[in-house]
Amino acid sequence: MSRNNTGISKGIDPLMIWLYLLLVGVGILAIFAATYREGDPVISSFFSFKTDYSKQFFFFVLAAIIGTFILLTDSKFFTATANIWYAVGIFLLLLVFPFHSNVKGTESIIRFGGFQFQPAEFCKVSVCLALSKYLSRPDTDFTKGRSQLIATGIALLPAILSILQKETGLALVYFSFFLVMYREGLSPMVLVIGFTIAVLVVATIVMEPNTLAIILTVIAGLVLFLMRRQIKRRKSVAISIIFLWLICVSIQRFAVPFIFKHVLQKHQVERIFSLFGKDNPYSNLPADVANASAKKEGVNDYNVKQSKIAIGSGGFLGKGLLSGTQTRYDFVPEQRTDFIFCTIGEGFGFVGTTVLLSIYLILLFRIIILAERQRSVFSRCYAYGVAAVFFFHICINVCMTIGLAPVIGIPLPFISYGGTALLTFTILLFILIRLDADRQMVLR
């Protein structure tokens, strides 16, 4: 046991701890700035837990305690209980269906006593663990398609359940686990195909359907021309190219409109379209009404517009933490949670945002460095999982605030206000630290 203890203190990566504390500190500061009103008594309200920043501090303390417990636990605990956690997570997700309470229009939260609890958040941890467990099994050959499918299934099952609970944003997080699978041997083609489809969807939204069809045809023709020698050798190449072309066009013509009309919810469609500055052609309104409402400032647009104003008005150095007019006067909705980045943007300007992003980048790189020095596959996969989740959150959240991504309810790790989020991320990170402390071991 004492060997474990010394092992722990030797093995724990101090940089990680420091980064964690730094980010949480920034978070509390930002929430303070976002909710501070002139004349509020700072110290007394801090300890009375009425204000958001004091609540965040309280959550931090709670998370730190749990984190410490994690650090004191044996690593084997995690490998052993990974699947159990996964099962618990899925069970809780299923529990939401009958027992959910309607909070803010979502159907994914269970109310229990005075607490709110969103199982989908917790599943991030459990999926990370379970996926790593699966990928680290000696009899898993990831080059085989079957394993890949099972891994995908593990990763995406909570996603599907979340979509059914109308939490599309949260569901999208699970797609980031593809990154882990890529690291473990998934063909890069998957990523390329995913990327291409994304580009195609964007192109469908932005361009006229006919224009796009023509462009696709031209590209197909060009490819046929360029590969004519190979076609002469094997006819099947031509067939596959034509087949690809067919798929692209059908996606553009049928799949995308279908998804927009029937699968996605109206406000999500709105958000996606407003991201590109285009009117929504799928709203079931007659043309003139749609035009009129398009001219109005839509609610979906408002968040992003205000957020961009807030960030943009920060300039190079920012206005000072407490002097941001947009922050102080509540122009940006949801500023404590999803749009917390605006506070940094307005308060500290370009310098501040770049510094914050650098801190995040250092964090991500550190996680990857830790991942690469692991001996056990489990730890490595888990680390990549953590990196993927963090990356997804940071990227989408910041892009949301600057107008590069549609508005999804994704918090910024360690900074957004929210006990559940803070807890989840802390647990994710600390399990990693714990596993890293035992990097010399090969875990089963």
Smallest gap from Cβ 318 to another protein, in A, equals 9
Q: Which of 27, 347, 403, 413 binds another protein (CB under 8 A)?
A: 403
Quick one: which of 182, 249, 240 has its CA closest to 218? 249
CB nearer to another protein: pick between 144 and 228: 144
Q: Which of 326, 343, 379, 426 binds another protein (CB under 8 A)?
A: 326
Beta partners for residue 106, in sequence order: 103
- Paired tokens of 132: 């790593």
Q: Return the residues of window 119-158 that contact another protein according to CB under 8 A.
A: none
Separation of alpha carbons 287 and 62, rounded Å: 53
Smallest gap from Cβ 349 to another protein, in A, equals 6
Is 391 among the residues that bind another protein (CB under 8 A)? yes
Integer-rounded Cα radius of gyration of the chain: 24
Q: Where are the alpha helices (DSSP H) in 251-339?
A: 256-258, 266-275, 287-295, 299-312, 325-328
Cβ proximity of 387 and 16 under 8 Å: no
Is 349 among the residues that bind another protein (CB under 8 A)? yes
Q: Is 397 helix (H, G, I), strand (E, B) or coil?
A: helix
Separation of alpha carbons 275 and 214, rounded Å: 25
Question: With CB under 8 A as the contact rule, which of the stretches 6-14, 102-110, 112-120, 384-392 interacts with another protein?
Answer: 384-392
Smallest gap from Cβ 427 to another protein, in A, equals 22
Question: With CB under 8 A as the contact rule, which of the stretches 1-9, 11-19, 325-333, 412-420 interacts with another protein?
Answer: 325-333
Is 187 among the residues that bind another protein (CB under 8 A)? no
List Cβ neighbours of 79 (8 Å cut-off, separation of 6 or more).
133, 136, 378, 443, 444
CB nearer to another protein: pick between 126 and 307: 307
Q: Which of 203, 264, 357, 359 binds another protein (CB under 8 A)?
A: 357
**DSSP code of 196?**
H
Is 182 among the residues that bind another protein (CB under 8 A)? yes
Q: Residue 266 burial by CB count (10 A; 0-12/13-18/19+): exposed, middle or buried?
A: middle
Q: Residue 283 burial by CB count (10 A; 0-12/13-18/19+): exposed, middle or buried?
A: middle
CB nearer to another protein: pick between 242 and 299: 299
Separation of alpha carbons 365 and 407, rounded Å: 27
**DSSP code of 321?**
T
Separation of alpha carbons 269 and 106, rounded Å: 17
Is 100 among the residues that bind another protein (CB under 8 A)? no
CB nearer to another protein: pick between 46 and 350: 350
Separation of alpha carbons 390 and 176, rounded Å: 9
Is 340 among the residues that bind another protein (CB under 8 A)? no
Is 194 among the residues that bind another protein (CB under 8 A)? no
Is 40 among the residues that bind another protein (CB under 8 A)? no
Is 177 among the residues that bind another protein (CB under 8 A)? no
CB nearer to another protein: pick between 244 and 368: 368
Is 185 among the residues that bind another protein (CB under 8 A)? yes
Size of the site for another protein (CB under 8 A): 48
Q: Which of 221, 222, 240, 330 binds another protein (CB under 8 A)?
A: 330
**DSSP code of 176?**
G
Is 361 among the residues that bind another protein (CB under 8 A)? yes
Q: Which of 2, 10, 38, 284 binds another protein (CB under 8 A)?
A: 38
Q: Which of 300, 306, 337, 426 binds another protein (CB under 8 A)?
A: 306
DSSP letters, 334-387, are: TTTTTTHHHHHHHHHHHHHHHHHHHHHHHHHHHHHHHHHT-SSHHHHHHHHHHH
Is 372 among the residues that bind another protein (CB under 8 A)? yes
Q: Which of 377, 386, 407, 412 binds another protein (CB under 8 A)?
A: 377
Q: Which of 110, 219, 364, 441 binds another protein (CB under 8 A)?
A: 364
Instruction: Please state, in angstroms and as integers, the Cα–Cα distance from residue 131 to each residue in 37, 111, 153, 387, 434, following that order.
Output: 45, 28, 10, 14, 18
Is 366 among the residues that bind another protein (CB under 8 A)? no
| Residues near another protein (CB under 8 A) | 38, 179, 182-185, 188, 306, 308-316, 325-326, 328-331, 345-346, 349-350, 353-354, 357, 360-361, 364-365, 368, 371-372, 377, 380, 384, 387, 391, 395, 398-399, 402-404
